[in-house]
A and B are shown apart, each in its own frame.
Chain A
Amino acid sequence: MDNRGFEQMVALHKDRVHSYATMMLKDSAEAQDVAQEALVRLWQHRTTVEEPGARPWLMRTAHNLCIDRIRKRRVRSEIADGEAVVDLQSDSNPGPQRRAEAGEIGRSIETALSTLSETDRAVIVMREVQGLPYDEIAAALGLPLGTLKARLHRARDRLRTHLCRAGVRP
């Protein structure tokens, strides 16, 4: 991939990567860092990444970076011994999508998403929010197709259950 190809890939996928990181991390500053880092890494690997494979490569990189950040949060929260426990459900810094058109249902879904495991959340965001094909998601997350679909069904059910309990009709 040459410089021009890289610039095209960045223009094409930057918002997708940033949206994914935002929904995974629920922290706009961290999401921005992850998106930047993923794009810079694409630049660093531009000689080995072909343009058709840039999107799954970026999503996999962004996912791994998000998982790293979530793990570091956990470590920090354990060190803080409960004083400053990171609570994904009570994020004081609302993501941009919260300010967008989603409204009450959007906020509820965002909260419900935070109750899922990282992998289930990743599956839901990649498939239902971003509409990525199954094989691409499976490659990005390193999951077999059957496992991926099972996780997707389970995550949908949990979201539905959470929303029903919260008294929100989707």
Chain B
Amino acid sequence: MNEDGKIRNLSCARALDSIHRRLDGDPLDRASVEWLETHMSECTECSAAKVELGQVQQALQSLTTVPLADEALEEVWERTTRAARKRLRFDWRVAAAAAVLTVVFIGMWQVIQPPVQQTAVVTPEETPSPEELARATAEARLALNVVASALHRSETAAFDEVLGERVSPALRKMPIRWPEPSAPDANDEREKGENDV
């Protein structure tokens, strides 16, 4: 290839690139446009290429869209949104069945379970009178005396068991006297007297 041929090939490659860029929608600067116009006025091959490439592009753009068939689209809906709605309906059925079963179970449980015994109705007691309180206090003290005597006796018996009845006679002589609330205890008076001394 001679020098002219090489230059021509380079120029044609540049021209072809510019033609493609135009077809791509890329803007060319003014100098490039002028150069391209000049080249194509001199080069029949590039001029023909420009026309043919433009026609190829137009032919491609004229190819029509191929719509998806309705049956195919129906299948898509069946596999997507409708399937989801069916699942949702199924969930509601399960929930409704569970609710019914729960109600039935509670009903059966109440039937099977033995009746609950009625607890006595507790009525608030009336406020006791002072006489009743005094009587109750006296009875309580008497009971406490009895308990104390029993404790004392049991203590004496314990000592008897340990010491062989050597202390029981003396212990038995010790009177057990419960302090009277109204009258001060004899021991307290004795202690008071000692403190005074």
Binding site for B on A (CB under 8 A): 3, 6-7, 10, 14-19, 22-23, 31-32, 35-36, 39-40, 43, 95-97, 100-102, 105-106, 109-110, 124, 128-129, 131, 134, 149, 152-153, 156-157, 159-160, 163-164, 169-170
- SS of A interface (majority): helix
Q: Which residue of the partner chain, among A152, A153, A170, contacts B59 with CB atoms under 8 Å?
A: A170
Within the assembled complex, what's the spacing in Å between the Cα atoms of A62 and B44?
Answer: 41
B17–chain A nearest beta-carbon distance, Å = 7
- Asked whether A18 lies within 8 Å of B79 as measured between CB atoms, the reply is no
Contacts of B66 in A (CB 8 A): 15, 18-19, 22-23, 31, 95-97, 100
Known: A14-B76, A43-B80, A153-B20. 6 other contacts (CB 8 A): A17-B68, A18-B68, A35-B68, A97-B66, A102-B59, A170-B55
Q: Which residue of the partner chain, among B17, B72, B79, contacts A32 with CB atoms under 8 Å?
A: B72
- Asked whether B76 lies within 8 Å of A18 as measured between CB atoms, the reply is no
B19–chain A nearest beta-carbon distance, Å = 9
Q: 20 A-B contacts, Cβ less than 8 Å apart? A: A10-B73, A17-B68, A23-B63, A23-B66, A36-B72, A36-B75, A36-B76, A39-B80, A40-B80, A97-B63, A102-B59, A106-B59, A109-B56, A124-B60, A128-B57, A129-B61, A149-B24, A156-B53, A156-B56, A170-B59
B81 within 8 A of A: yes
Within the assembled complex, what's the spacing in Å between the Cα atoms of A124 and B76?
Answer: 28
User: Which B residue sits closest to A106, measured CB to CB?
Assistant: B63
Q: List residues of B (58-100) whose CB comes within 8 Å of A's CBs.
A: 58-69, 72-73, 75-76, 79-81, 84
6 shortest A-B CB distances, which residue pairs? A170-B55, A128-B60, A43-B80, A18-B68, A153-B20, A100-B64
Within the assembled complex, what's the spacing in Å between the Cα atoms of A163 and B20?
Answer: 17
A144–chain B nearest beta-carbon distance, Å = 15
A9–chain B nearest beta-carbon distance, Å = 11
B136 within 8 A of A: no
